[in-house]
Amino acid sequence: MSSPSVSLSPAAMPAPAPAGRLSAELCLRIYDLMLRARVLEERLITMYKQGDGYFWIGGPGEEAFNVPLGLLVDKGHGLDHDYLHLHYRSSATLLALGADPVDSLRQMKNTATDPYSRGRNFAGHYSARKWNVVPVTSPIEVQFSIAIGTARAQRAGTGAKGITIVQGGDAGTAEGDFATALVWSSRRGQELPLLMIVTNNRYGISTPFTGQHGYDQIAERGKAFGMPTAVVDGNDPEASYLALQKAIEYVRTERKPYLLEAMVSRLRGHSSASGANPVKGEIDCLERFEQTLESRKLLTRAQIEQLRADYTEELLQASKRVREEPQPTPESVHDYIFADKNYVGGEA
Amino acid sequence: MATMVQAIRMALHVGESRLGVTDIFGQDVGPPLGGVFTQTQGLQTAWNTPLDERGIVGTAIGLALAGQKPVAEIQFCDYAFNTIDLLKIAGNTYWSSGGDWNVPMVLMTPVGAGIRGSIYHSHSFDAQATRIPGWKIVMPSTPRDAYGLLLSAIQDPNPVMFLMPKALMRIKAEPGERIPGEPEDEKQLNKMIDAPLGDRSQWRPEWPPLEELFVPIGKARIAREGRHVSVLTYGRNVHMALAAAAELAAEGIDAEIVDLRSLHPYDWDAITASVRKTNRVLCVNEDTEITNFGEHLIRRITEELFYELYAPPKLVAGGHLPGIGLADHLEMASVPQKNTIKAAIAELAAHEP
């Protein structure tokens, strides 16, 4: 995206951050990405509602947690960087990694230019081998089994510097794959460098948390497996950043698993199947962080409104361009069924 | 001459020592057992997993995505049914990511009846496997093909399922089917690579100087040439069909036995050539008969080779039964036997248009 018309430079701000807070510069960077992610999801919903896509699912309400995640991973390709097994609410993580939001519009419009799936998969189903972002799947649990494999390739003794991060929602932890990850990652002497993240929005489609789980926090389950656990307010980007930093540092150094649960919001419901309309009674992490930044005199309301207007306009124009991009041809259904080279093994 | 299980073990040794295999794993695959059929004894990269098939398949996918070369095992295919959505992901990842991530993994699993394995050690998997696009699927019927197909599976950049006919695990290679590099004396081979009974903690195998042999995926083998009826089959049923053909030869019926070896991709050229020659087709496999891989072959033969046929194609398959019963009579009545195959060949040979 082009540079915003409002400068986010914190040059005039006092430097040291109090305990539990991040520096002004980092706060503004996180805020900018949170806003971009929110505006992107709003554009995707609008595209869906205007007939420029068949289905929407995404992450409004997870930005305060997912942006810090994207900023904190060791981004790159191969075992010395972090593998990411994300879910379909991870747009903010992708933007924080440096993804072009226009590519998300392409996936929504299922164009041939969609770099994540070439028009084959729903919005929010990211894939980026160059950054170790393993393809996002619609099943809400399988990433917990698959992540064991990348973590095993990075286990202690291999010399790999990267770790594996796997993320899913609270409802998906009822599936056996979540237990699989707990069991396999914590075997004594064979521990895996695996950060398990549960973003708990307290719903599985329409089923509330209490209708599915008889315990208060999912993180409690990690304790039986001897791994450190934490619960963080995922609507607070500073707390999320610090909790993630601690968890990532532990996994990277100890080469052992860690279970982190983030309490987040689901601001537009499950998906377009439930309307994708604003949901009352949920904390909006973006609004809350704007108030924080205003109270700390890091941003003014006018600047916030200007930024939002700029980003919104930018993606509106981009969506018009994407509309004109080619759709996949019928013949292309036969492309990429079998590989002729071992690309993941380094062949090109 | 090597048995099939020794051939598999030798292929895995070549795989881990020369073809980049990083992990051979599954339940009881690592020491001390080395596989319930001994197929992974003495391998450097073999390790034991928790008793968790979804974890096994998921781990294989993850290792493959991380640039490793995993060979995973499900101890019996009867226990692979709870992994089907993960098998679908292994098969669809290259496609759904638009060519971003291929998944170079091998999944081995014993299949089929013949050992009186009752309801949960007798299943077939070929009908299920061929319904999961994105996989290559192979099934040997001889030790040499087991060796060569497994090496090809390891070398392939895609997910490959290696179905092991469990009733054939102890069969020995026929003369002329030697694995390149194996010693002439089979007792010597046993001494070199079979783990001793009892404490094995100090035992190390002594591998023969094996040469690579790649049986191409997608190529059938004519196990017996014949003029009157084409029998399209694979795995355990190849040997039954050969025995049936040998008996029928005395009656003047000359059956051609096509060992498909690969179920996907399958060798349509070889099938076509055989059907054009004999004009009569029998498909034989052990899986349940409704929505059976042989049905697919018959559908395609009927559509594309209809005017070559002198008789309606036949399928001899497992019954559409909830399970394979333990008692001798029950198992025999559930899956094809030599005599049912023989009767079907004879009936086709006698049929005139």
Q: Which domains does chain B have, with CATH numbers?
A: 4-193 (3.40.50.970), 221-350 (3.40.50.920)
To the query of whether residue B121 is one of the catalytic residues in this protein, the response is yes
- CB contact, 8 Å: B61 with chain A? yes
Domain boundaries, chain A: 26-325
User: Across the strands, what pairs with A85?
Assistant: A166
Which sign, positive or negative, has the C-alpha torsion A164, A170, A172, A177? positive
Percent of chain A exceeding pLDDT 90 equals 94
- Of the candidates B227, B180, B258, the residue with the CA atom closest to the CA atom of residue B10: B180
Strand B255-259 versus strand B221-224 pairing type: antiparallel
Cα–Cα distance, B257 to B239 (Å, whole number): 9
Which residues are CB-contacts of B85 (< 8 A; sequence separation ≥ 6)?
A: A139, A142
CA distance B277 to chain A (A): 32
Sole residue written with tokens 């990269």: B45
Query: Which of B13, B121, B123, B239 is labelled catalytic?
Result: B121
- Chain B residues in contact with A338 by the CB 8 A cut-off are 94, 134, 136, 158
- CA dihedral (A126, A130, A132, A136) in degrees, to 10, reads 10
As a whole number, mean pLDDT of residues A263-270 equals 96
Q: Do B55 and A152 touch (CB under 8 A)?
A: no
Sole residue written with tokens 């919903």: A45
ipTM comes to 0.96
A6, A276 in Cβ contact below 8 A? no
pLDDT band at A1 (very low <50, low <70, confident <90, very high): very low
pLDDT by position in tens, chain B (length 353): 999 999 999 999 999 999 999 999 999 999 999 999 999 999 999 999 999 999 999 999 999 999 999 999 999 999 999 999 999 999 999 999 999 999 999 999 999 999 999 999 999 999 999 999 999 999 999 999 999 999 999 999 999 999 999 999 999 998 889 999 999 999 999 999 999 998 999 999 999 999 999 999 999 999 999 999 999 999 999 999 999 999 999 999 999 999 999 999 999 999 999 999 999 999 999 999 999 999 999 999 999 999 999 999 999 999 999 999 999 999 999 999 999 999 999 999 999 98
Q: Determine the pLDDT at residue A8.
A: 61
Amino acid at A132: N
Residue by residue, what is the 3-state secondary structure of B35-95?
A: CCCCCCCCCCCEEECCCCHHHHHHHHHHHHHCCCCEEEECCCHHHCHHHHHHHHHHHHHHH
Q: What is the full DSSP assignment across A182-211?
A: HHHHT-TT----EEEEEEE-SEETTEEGGG
CA distance B47 to chain A (A): 11
Q: Do A142 and B86 touch (CB under 8 A)?
A: yes
CA distance B137 to chain A (A): 13
pLDDT in tens, A276-312: 999 999 999 999 999 999 999 999 999 999 999 999 9
Residue A168 has pLDDT above 70, yes or no: yes
Minimal-distance CA residue of chain A relative to B105: A342
∠ CA A128-A130-A133, nearest 5°, is: 40
Task: Pick B65's closest partner by Cβ from A128, A150, A177.
Answer: A150
Q: Determine the pLDDT at residue A15.
A: 56
Minimal-distance CA residue of chain A relative to B65: A344
Q: Determine the pLDDT at residue A19.
A: 84
Question: What count of residues does chain B have?
Answer: 353
pLDDT in tens, A74-95: 999 999 999 999 999 999 999 9
Cα–Cα distance, A15 to B232 (Å, whole number): 77
Average pLDDT score over chain A = 95
Residue A97 has pLDDT above 70, yes or no: yes
Q: Do B97 and A341 touch (CB under 8 A)?
A: no
- Of the candidates B22, B107, B17, the residue with the CA atom closest to the CA atom of residue B67: B22
Cα separations (Å) of B318 from B79, B256, B286?
A: 19, 21, 5
Cα–Cα distance, A184 to A225 (Å, whole number): 10
CA distance B94 to chain A (A): 6
Q: Which CATH architecture has domain A26-325?
A: 3-Layer(aba) Sandwich (3.40)
- Chain B residues in contact with A144 by the CB 8 A cut-off are 58
pLDDT in tens, A17-42: 788 899 999 999 999 999 999 999 99
- Chain A residues in contact with B65 by the CB 8 A cut-off are 83, 134, 146, 149-150, 344
- Chain B residues in contact with A79 by the CB 8 A cut-off are 66-67
Cα–Cα distance, A241 to A195 (Å, whole number): 14
Residue A2 has pLDDT above 80, yes or no: no
